[in-house]
Amino acid sequence: MPLPAAQFHDLRDRCVLVTGGGAGIGAALVEGFIHQGAKVAFVDIDERAGLDLVDKLFAETGSRPSFIHADLRDITAVRQAAETAATALGAIHVLVNNAARDDRQPLEAVTEESWDESQAVNLRHLFFMSQAVAPHMRQAGSGSIVNFSSIAFLLNMAEIPAYATAKAGIIGLTKSLAGKLGHDNIRVNAILPGMIVTVRQKKLWLDEAAIAAMLEKQCLKRSLTASDLVGPCLYLASDCSAGMTAQTMIIDGGAL
């Protein structure tokens, strides 16, 4: 991954927890925070991917992030992961709620179970992880929570009613948490990625025609990759954005 152009000196030794850090954007974020000298823990359901990332980063940088193997659909596991991260690193100062699964399911196929499953994997854990981490941020005297939403809910995409609902819900959650936690100097912002070409996206949804169609809409005529999200996330995590909360940042190459 290309290294971010900037060094955010306040992120050195900061305790950072990233969810879904084993692959895709989350893995790029873990790497980005490691390169800032932060202390990093990440949660993922994919044990192999998590362990491989720890080995890769240790070999490349000499720093070893803490990997916590957990399923974020399980709220007891969410709470345990927050405590495990704080025990490993110290009071969590930055939380990046990134984990999600963008399954596609048209209107007719959605069941009660699949609806609840989608909200559990794409929305519910963001609230409970924030709730679990907020006391650590109070203890640290400040904090920054970055929630990953998506521009998908703004595109009238027919095949993702449950996912789009969850991603729209993240904006409401971000603003409500910002209103509550601002009293404790904890900031909460959201990032809305556009089309980000990751391994999973290429495997499941992004053929050449889909990429070409999105590039037609974008102002920037190149595909965005996971590394395009690193700089914006570091900025929101850092005190460089100290006056910024309850906001949404769109990183989509100008597609909207």
Ligand X SMILES: NC(=O)c1ccc[n+]([C@@H]2O[C@H](COP(=O)([O-])OP(=O)(O)OC[C@H]3O[C@@H](n4cnc5c(N)ncnc54)[C@H](O)[C@@H]3O)[C@@H](O)[C@H]2O)c1
Q: Which residues are catalytic?
A: 163
Report the residue from 16, 68, 85, 98 that binds ligand X according to the rule CB under 6 A. 98
3-state secondary structure the chain: CCCCCCCCHHHCCCEEEEECCCCHHHHHHHHHHHHCCCEEEEEECCHHHHHHHHHHHHHHHCCCCEEEECCCCCHHHHHHHHHHHHHHHCCCCEEEECCCCCCCCCHHHCCHHHHHHHHHHHHHHHHHHHHHHHHHHHHHCCEEEEEECCHHHHCCCCCCHHHHHHHHHHHHHHHHHHHHHHHHCEEEEEEEECCECCHHHHHHCCCHHHHHHHHHHCCCCCCECHHHHHHHHHHHHCHHHCCCCCCEEEECCCCC
195 is an interface residue for ligand X by CB under 6 A:
yes
196 is an interface residue for ligand X by CB under 6 A:
yes
Position closest to ligand X via CB: 24
Report the residue from 201, 225, 227, 247 that binds ligand X according to the rule CB under 6 A. 201
81 is an interface residue for ligand X by CB under 6 A:
no
31 is an interface residue for ligand X by CB under 6 A:
no
232 is an interface residue for ligand X by CB under 6 A:
no
The region of 95-103, 137-145, 209-217, 238-246 touching ligand X under the rule CB under 6 A is 95-103
Report the residue from 17, 45, 134, 234 that binds ligand X according to the rule CB under 6 A. 45
Pick between residue 8 and residue 42 the one whose CB is nearest to ligand X.
42
Pick between residue 15 and residue 233 the one whose CB is nearest to ligand X.
233
123 is an interface residue for ligand X by CB under 6 A:
no
248-251 vs 94-97, strand pairing mode: unpaired
CB of 44 to ligand X, least distance (A): 5
Which amino acid is residue 114, in one-letter code? Answer: S
The region of 69-77, 111-119, 127-135, 210-218 touching ligand X under the rule CB under 6 A is 69-77
Among the listed residues 233, 250, 247, 127, the one whose alpha carbon sits nearest the alpha carbon of residue 189: 247
73 is an interface residue for ligand X by CB under 6 A:
yes
253 is an interface residue for ligand X by CB under 6 A:
no
Question: And the tokens for 250?
Answer: 């769109």
CB of 194 to ligand X, least distance (A): 6
Binding site for ligand X (CB under 6 A): 20, 22-26, 43-46, 49, 71-73, 98-102, 121, 148, 150, 152, 193, 195-196, 198, 200-201
